Structure 1
Amino acid sequence: MKAPQPELDFRSEKVNASCEIFYQRGYRWLQVMIFAVEEINNSSHLLPNFTLGYLAADTCLAESTTLLAALAMVSGQEVHLANSECGSVPTVPVIVGDARTSSSIVVANTLGVFDIPMVSYLASCECLSDKRRYPLFFRTMTSDVAQAQAMAELLRLMGWTWVGLVSADDDFGRSGIQMLVDALRGTEVCVAYHEVIPEGYSKTVIKRIVETIQKSTARVVVTFLIGQDAKALFDEVVHRNITDKQWIATDAWVTYGSVSVPRNTLSLAGTIGFAVRKADIPGLGAFLTRVNPGLSDPFLKELWETVFGCSLSAGQKGTSCSGSEVLGIGESVYTDVSQLRFTYNVYKAVYAIAHAIKDMLACEPGKGPFLDGQCPDVQRLQPLQIAHYLREVNFTTPLKEWMNFDENGDPPASYDIINWHVTTQGTIEFVTVGHFMSSQGSTFHIDMDRVVWGGGSGHKVPVSVCSNPCPPGTRKAVQKGRPVCCFDCLPCADGEISNETGSVECIRCPERFWSNSNNTVCVPRQVDFLSYNDTMGIVLSILSAVGAALTTATYATFLYHRHTPLVRANNSEVSFMLLLSLKLCFLCALAFIGQPLAWLCMLRHTLFGISFVLCISCLLSRTVVVLVAFRSTLPGENLMRYVGPAQQRVGISICTLVQVLICGLWLTLAPPQPTERDIVDNWGPKIILECATGSVVGFSFVLGYIGLLACVCLLLAFLARKLPDNFNEAKLITFSMLIFCTVWVAFVPAYISSPGKYAVAVEIFAILASSYGLLFCIFAPKCFVILLRPERNTKKHLMAR
């Protein structure tokens, strides 16, 4: 039944009002209790020679009437409580009920004074498991803790991270939502909103709640409601034609027929929820349909009028009932035995009490559980004694299901996962698609192929997220002021990756690795150096080899024609030394190609510095000889004795030795070493292998010394440029040194601005260009005369003006 809303203006005396609506499910539960009691009394093995009785009262689904009825039962004053004796033994030693959590809490708190145990068949609030507050409360209904765990597991498995919550404004709703929130803590599921259905079902409040549900982007709505609350909510949902939501139901309404009426199929099709295990109680259907209005039951009149839509009272308007109407099995909510779930809980509650009494009767004198081995008083059942044996019951129901109470008075947790399917007739069919058990380690199983999802998704799991999962290569960035489920996806920085969907942070790649273009995989960095396999390396190697070969050919030409006037006139010894140094210059370019190694770094810079100093020293010596030779032709001057072959060798050796000392100090104190340098260019990240100079001062001295000799040589050659042509190399040396100096002056900015291996290539190019300049400017004219104009290779020709 449903109680009327009380008037709270306190302007008139309270008048007892009758209940407003006849609750067929509640009356069926009452009949099941009677059925179980009669079944036990008719049994010859459970309680032989012992008869169970019962007393029933209408609670009107309100705390006040429930408490009033309970006090009347235990005091023996079913109608009035004025003359009750609180200290006397109660008429009713154990109560089966109540269905509602709020009423159960009120009754359990009050009946604690009388030490009356309660066995509830529907109250599921986890708070009732607190044995310090409710030591005598038992139930055959699973605690909401298991249901909250099952809901959290369902949300996690389906990937629903953005959900709405709707609960009732009672202990069941508040406690259930709190347990669900606790179960979701530490997961990625966020709550978009939490709405509370008011007790009085205010239309204004319910409209606002449904508007919130409709506007929210959360497609999944989790409810903690009893059947009447759900019906009040879904009447407005259907009125607004909301069809894009996936509803998650509690056991209190997932099989509630009044909610699943045909007009609700479009909005609620695909609803999924959890229900206590279904049972098929033999003979119950026939027992429920044997009633008729002629029996003394005061509720039958209301049942008859509700089921058949007629009136049994004379003089009432409308259709009159004849009283001969036939109740068919399954034709009404009352006779529907297809979903015996809470009904089965009532059945088990009665059998639990019967087995507790059976154990009491089996007590042997002197071996009882009470003081001095006393057995319970079976003539006048004591509530505390029944409570003791209820804690110990362990039996199998007639339907072969094991039943007991744990230390909190709770039964083993077991749920069916129910899915609402729409039949071809447009009705709702409750289909079991899985199960959940948490008594011995949580097990969750769901047959995805059988599930029909809500919101028009069919067999495709609906998506309910605040933000779409971040793809690989990105990371989550929580939006300011919003839940953690609402985020933006930011690409990983260069050198970082995320290879999973929904990564919270990016992972930095290991050393010598870099992220690919999508930032999803770390790939080995490209190791970059000027190798012999590069096109540029091959070209420079060929140029170096050709230069060395030309130098060798020139050397052979001069050696073969060493007795000719042209070769002898140019100091063949210095010429051979110059050709040798030029060959070293060409070959030292090869040391700059290939992977830098410690010995190779030291060799390339040392060989470069010494070979070029030797080369320029030879040119400087020849320039000095030319100047001194023509100065010696003046009367009274004999300077040739200072620039003879021995003096030239000493001069070249001293100039070269200075460079050797500089290189020696450099290699000793801070030698060049191979290093790695990370760069990112248009082709991606690279590891540049190069030779670090070690000491910048040492490298500067090597280059500076070469530059100093080159400048001196250029200056002297410039001064001797107007001497007689046939005996004068000054012009050729001047031109060659101009090329040399131009190349190395241009080298500096080009070297600094070139990245990686291109800087090495610039240095090699400078070496080869300057070497080719020296070779061609100085030796090409002589080779031309020696090989192609031998008639000019005579003393007479050389002595001519």
Structure 2
Amino acid sequence: MERSSSEEEPLFAVLKLPKSPAVILLFFASLSLCSNDLRCKLPDSESDSPMSYSRDGDVIVAGILQILLTHDQNMVDFLDTPNCDYCVGTSYEYLKHFLAFIYAIEEINNSTEILPNITLGFHVYDSCTSDNLAVKSVLNIISGTEEPTPNYICEKTQKTIPVVGHLLSSTTYTIARLTQLYGYPQISYGALNSALGRTFPLLYQTVPSELSQVHAVIQLLLYFGWTWVGIITTEDDNSQYAIKELKEQMEKHRICVDFLSIISMDTKVYREKSLKAVKEIKNSSVNVIIFYGTEIPFIGFMESCVENITGKVWITATGMDGTIKNKFPNFNQKFNGSLAITIQRGKIPGFFKFLLQATIYTIPDNIFLNHFWQFSFGCYNTQDSSRPELICANNTAWKELVSNDTRIYRHSYTIYNAIYLLSEALHQMHQAGLLLEPLSLHLKDELKYKLNYYLKNVSLKNPSDTDIFFNDQGYVQGNFDILNFVASSNMRITNVLVGSWFSSAPKQLQINESAIVWNPCFTETPRSLCTDPCPPGCRQSLEAGKLSCCFKCVQCNDGEFANGTASEYCISCPDDQWSNPTRDKCIKRPLHFLSYEEDLGLSLAIIATILIGIGSSVLWVFIKYRNTPLVRANNCNLSYTLLVSLITCFLLSFLFIGHPQEVTCLMRQTTFGVIFAVAISSILGKTTTVLIAFNATKPGSKLRQYAGSRTSTGLVILCSLAEFLICITWLNYSPPFVQLDNKSIPGTTIVQCNEGSIVTFYVAVSYIGILAVFSFIIAFISRKLPDTFNEAQYITFSMLVFCSVWMSFIPTYLSTKGKYMVAVEIFAILASNGALLCFIFFPKCYIILLKPEHNKKGKITVKGFKM
């Protein structure tokens, strides 16, 4: 055995690894096998080495692939195949990956445009799913011999530069820990873990990242509204990393995980944890279960534990579609209607023809093909080099297998892309003159690192006419297919393409829902919710200690609405609208004001009209009998002024009824204040006249000169003018205006007159109150003067009623809202003015109309003066 330089170069020195017992143990433990049980070995297997197939060339591409269904010691126990660390079982899907590898190499070698005068060779190892066999395969590549020689590089010149593999993220990681230390660029055709590219700078992945698959799962759940799910995963690092990313994204999108069950990789507790997972599934109300993990433990879990679990929609991650299709024909009812996220299929021109030739007329020395046919259908090769063919115990079965090939290439497509990206990088190196010299160990090291540079910058169009290249994280941007598991009539499960996920599309997830066939347990699209969505008009209210998907429905408050299902919040209605009784929409608020169309407004209008009629009649009587002693004795001018002001006050009531307008708001309180001031001033003039006339009869009284009508008229004008000035100031400073009040009465818009300056309003009202109090006091003083007809007595009583009405009005007015406030004011106006009209003028009208004999000259005396 030759050394790689002047002396044998220890492998540990090349890798710059410390010669610690732990490291040495790692290398040698990786080579150890557990048993020589012949049930587990492939036929004619004479050594513990991984099966391999090679072809020489100027540059060798090493492949560490998963070709046969295999397991290491721990995995075998899941399928009741103990004491085995070898490849067992067969897989047509994995065999196609291997043949795609060979086909891509042959295409490059047959091309005159790429790598001219350079022949690519290959050395393919089958590591299955065993990390032990994967490490052993890497050691074979590094030492350069059929049997690995740990700690030595045995060939002076080596042709192997790149390594292609593996399908699984966990095995890719195991391989990368060695290839990266020694500088081999590595291209994985199936590893999704995005952390690999960050950990190993020489590692590249021809599939999308794990995070892209997580996004696809999240969008699939959101599309169907599945917010209540369970998760089954396996106890490997890659699966745990993916589940961590998945849960973080679920939390962001308010998707809740009812249970997370981990299938143990330790056979000692595998059964216990699996039964615990089954119990959680049965006790849960979820209808959707996500499986994210490696296939072998999942196969054992399904075969041993879930016989009685039906009516669930399973969502499986990339790589499980072929396993379920091939391994679970008896579990069609359990997987029927479930979904799988897979690497998107692609075109490989000419590959199907190559596949037919390679599988029917096998490659004579290809150990993988020979074992596949022998294991699957009892076939063996005739070993006739002129025309090799298969002799099979079951010709129908293998012909049906090949003829029914779906021509859907997924990982075959990604491994095909891996070889094409690699060949393009090598071609660019060849054009730069870097592949012309014999590959000594020194030159080979340089070429490996230079190849890494070209791989980082390579870009080309694949057969599907899309650009492929490695991004900064070392993986290609890619897409996923969404498959539907459908149980066929022959008790087999088939995969139906029902959607896709595109990483660069504006709408990433595209689903053909009409193509999905759900499990017969569901009569419609399955639902998986902790709580049914709240109906319109209600919002979700989270309960303490429960997940966000588990809530109770609470009806929206007044003035809020929720017009859809599953509303998290209620929306406030616009100011001019209000929620309807079911709280699912907003309707126009009804306008609230005192109108003639309602009984209250109409009743007050009728009363005002009657009082106007009565007041007008009294005025007519006084005008008609103006020359009679009674009318003349009571200062007819003040009587006329008072009657006109009372009638005008009754008319003012109509300014308060109906829809408020700018004009009516300006006139309401100001006109009311001035007219009331005139009325009260007239009464004050009457009482003052009576008091002056009585005191003027005393001998030597100087009040006699003030006993005429000029005093009373001047008093009315003076008192009314003060109120007028107050109102003018009010209108100039802060006039009343129309206001829409949406707060006072829920669900109603009060149309009202805002008084503007509330201070000026109360000053105007207070001034009228002061006039009324003075009138009452003077009338009270004059009530017992010795007259035949003493008007002061009637004024006293009428002012007592007037003041009582307005004192009662104030608290009532302040405690009411909207039209009722207006009605209270109208009632106060009508009641107080009606009292004045009744108690001051009815006694006089009684005498004028019914007792005319008392309305004669000499019968009426006013403070000692005979009329």
TM-score range, shorter chain: 0.7 to 0.9
Structure 2 CA distance for partners of 1:177 and 1:83, relative to 1, 3 Å: closer
1:558 aligns with 2:622: yes
Partners of 2:460 and 2:190 in 1: how far apart? 20
Mean CA deviation greater in 594-603 or 264-273: 594-603
Report if aligned partners of 1:27, 1:334 keep a CA contact under 8 Å in 2.
Answer: no
1:340 aligns with 2:421: no
5 Å-filtered alignment, 1:509-528, equals 514-519=578-583, 525-526=589-590, 528=592
Number of residue pairs aligned between Structure 1 and Structure 2? 763
Per the TM alignment, residue 413 of structure 1 is displaced from its structure 2 partner at its CA by 0.9
Q: Match of 2:604?
A: 540
Partners of 1:431 and 1:120 in 2: how far apart? 27
**Correspondence for 2:274 among 203, 206, 224:** 206
Partners of 2:326 and 2:727 in 1: how far apart? 93
1:416 aligns with 2:481: yes
Partners of 1:112 and 1:337 in 2: how far apart? 37
1:69 aligns with 2:129: no
Report if aligned partners of 2:282, 2:309 keep a CA contact under 8 Å in 1.
Answer: no
Q: Match of 1:110?
A: 178
Q: Match of 1:575?
A: 639
Output one character per residue of 1:560-600: Cα deviation in whole Å (capped at 9) or x when no partner: 33233443454434433432343344344445446375642
Mean CA deviation greater in 737-746 or 39-48: 39-48
Output one character per residue of 1:147-176: Cα deviation in whole Å (capped at 9) or x when no partner: 223223323333333333333333431333
Q: Match of 1:10?
A: none
What code does the residue aligned with 1:444 have? L
**Correspondence for 2:544 among 480, 503, 508:** 480
Structure 2 CA distance for partners of 1:699 and 1:646, relative to 1, 3 Å: same
1:282 aligns with 2:352: yes
**Correspondence for 1:100 among 144, 162, 168:** 168
**Correspondence for 1:448 among 488, 513, 535:** 513
Structure 2 CA distance for partners of 1:500 and 1:522, relative to 1, 3 Å: same
Report if aligned partners of 2:685, 2:715 keep a CA contact under 8 Å in 1.
Answer: no
Per the TM alignment, residue 107 of structure 1 is displaced from its structure 2 partner at its CA by 1.3
Structure 2 CA distance for partners of 1:139 and 1:337, relative to 1, 3 Å: farther
Partners of 1:671 and 1:57 in 2: how far apart? 96
Output one character per residue of 1:461-510: Cα deviation in whole Å (capped at 9) or x when no partner: 33333444455554444433444444444444444455555555455555
Output one character per residue of 1:5-63: Cα deviation in whole Å (capped at 9) or x when no partner: 369xxxxxxx9954263242444533443455556656777677665443333324121
Mean CA deviation greater in 566-575 or 294-303: 294-303
Partners of 2:549 and 2:661 in 1: how far apart? 52
**Correspondence for 2:204 among 121, 128, 138:** 138
**Correspondence for 1:434 among 487, 499, 502:** 499
Per the TM alignment, residue 217 of structure 1 is displaced from its structure 2 partner at its CA by 3.6
Per the TM alignment, residue 258 of structure 1 is displaced from its structure 2 partner at its CA by 5.0
Report if aligned partners of 1:525, 1:686 keep a CA contact under 8 Å in 2.
Answer: no
5 Å-filtered alignment, 1:86-485, equals 88-90=156-158, 92-130=160-198, 133-181=199-247, 183-184=249-250, 186-200=252-266, 202-235=270-303, 238-243=306-311, 245-257=312-324, 261-278=328-345, 279=347, 281-287=351-357, 289-290=359-360, 303=372, 306-308=375-377, 324-326=393-395, 328-329=397-398, 339-354=408-423, 356=425, 363=431, 367-368=432-433, 377=438, 382=444, 384=448, 387=452, 390=455, 404-406=469-471, 408-438=473-503, 443-453=508-518, 456-457=521-522, 460-471=524-535, 473-485=537-549
Partners of 1:98 and 1:774 in 2: how far apart? 108
Partners of 1:236 and 1:627 in 2: how far apart? 122
1:613 aligns with 2:684: no
Report the 3-state secondary structure (helix = DSSP H, G, I; strand = E; otherwise coil) of the residue aligned with 2:340: strand
Report if aligned partners of 1:602, 1:667 keep a CA contact under 8 Å in 2.
Answer: no
Mean CA deviation greater in 497-506 or 557-566: 497-506
**Correspondence for 1:661 among 722, 729, 734:** 722
Gaps of 5+ in 1: 8-14, 313-320
Structure 2 CA distance for partners of 1:652 and 1:104, relative to 1, 3 Å: same
5 Å-filtered alignment, 1:674-689, equals 674=737, 676=739, 679-681=743-745, 684=748, 686=750, 688-689=752-753
Per the TM alignment, residue 106 of structure 1 is displaced from its structure 2 partner at its CA by 1.7
Structure 2 CA distance for partners of 1:18 and 1:322, relative to 1, 3 Å: farther
**Correspondence for 1:21 among 85, 88, 110:** 88
Report the 3-state secondary structure (helix = DSSP H, G, I; strand = E; otherwise coil) of the residue aligned with 2:409: coil
Report the 3-state secondary structure (helix = DSSP H, G, I; strand = E; otherwise coil) of the residue aligned with 1:157: helix
Partners of 2:472 and 2:796 in 1: how far apart? 109
Q: Match of 1:59?
A: 127
What RMSD, in angstroms, separates the aligned Cα atoms of the two structures?
Answer: 4.5
Report the 3-state secondary structure (helix = DSSP H, G, I; strand = E; otherwise coil) of the residue aligned with 1:152: helix
Partners of 1:673 and 1:440 in 2: how far apart? 61
Report the 3-state secondary structure (helix = DSSP H, G, I; strand = E; otherwise coil) of the residue aligned with 2:132: helix
Per the TM alignment, residue 253 of structure 1 is displaced from its structure 2 partner at its CA by 0.6
Report if aligned partners of 2:288, 2:315 keep a CA contact under 8 Å in 1.
Answer: yes
1:774 aligns with 2:774: no
Mean CA deviation greater in 330-339 or 432-441: 330-339
Report if aligned partners of 1:231, 1:259 keep a CA contact under 8 Å in 2.
Answer: no
Per the TM alignment, residue 256 of structure 1 is displaced from its structure 2 partner at its CA by 2.6
Q: Match of 1:317?
A: none
1:586 aligns with 2:650: yes
Q: Match of 2:773?
A: 708
Report if aligned partners of 1:74, 1:91 keep a CA contact under 8 Å in 2.
Answer: no
1:747 aligns with 2:809: yes
Report the 3-state secondary structure (helix = DSSP H, G, I; strand = E; otherwise coil) of the residue aligned with 1:719: coil
5 Å-filtered alignment, 1:721-740, equals 724=788, 727-729=789-791, 732-733=794-795, 736-737=798-799, 739-740=801-802
Report the 3-state secondary structure (helix = DSSP H, G, I; strand = E; otherwise coil) of the residue aligned with 2:821: helix
Report if aligned partners of 2:783, 2:790 keep a CA contact under 8 Å in 1.
Answer: no
Partners of 2:637 and 2:416 in 1: how far apart? 124
Report the 3-state secondary structure (helix = DSSP H, G, I; strand = E; otherwise coil) of the residue aligned with 1:109: helix
Structure 2 CA distance for partners of 1:30 and 1:736, relative to 1, 3 Å: closer
Output one character per residue of 1:432-470: Cα deviation in whole Å (capped at 9) or x when no partner: 122223257774322122123458445x43333344445
Structure 2 CA distance for partners of 1:620 and 1:35, relative to 1, 3 Å: same
% identical aligned pairs: 28
**Correspondence for 1:759 among 821, 829, 835:** 821
Report the 3-state secondary structure (helix = DSSP H, G, I; strand = E; otherwise coil) of the residue aligned with 1:239: coil
What code does the residue aligned with 2:356 have? A
Report the 3-state secondary structure (helix = DSSP H, G, I; strand = E; otherwise coil) of the residue aligned with 2:127: coil
Structure 2 CA distance for partners of 1:659 and 1:649, relative to 1, 3 Å: same
Partners of 1:602 and 1:196 in 2: how far apart? 81
Output one character per residue of 1:122-162: Cα deviation in whole Å (capped at 9) or x when no partner: 222212333xx433333433333332232233233333333
Report the 3-state secondary structure (helix = DSSP H, G, I; strand = E; otherwise coil) of the residue aligned with 2:322: coil
Report if aligned partners of 2:207, 2:476 keep a CA contact under 8 Å in 1.
Answer: yes
Per the TM alignment, residue 425 of structure 1 is displaced from its structure 2 partner at its CA by 3.5
What code does the residue aligned with 2:211 have? V
What code does the residue aligned with 1:564 have? T
Partners of 1:75 and 1:335 in 2: how far apart? 42
Per the TM alignment, residue 302 of structure 1 is displaced from its structure 2 partner at its CA by 5.7
5 Å-filtered alignment, 1:39-54, equals 51-54=119-122
In the superposition, the TM-score normalised over structure 2's length comes to: 0.75
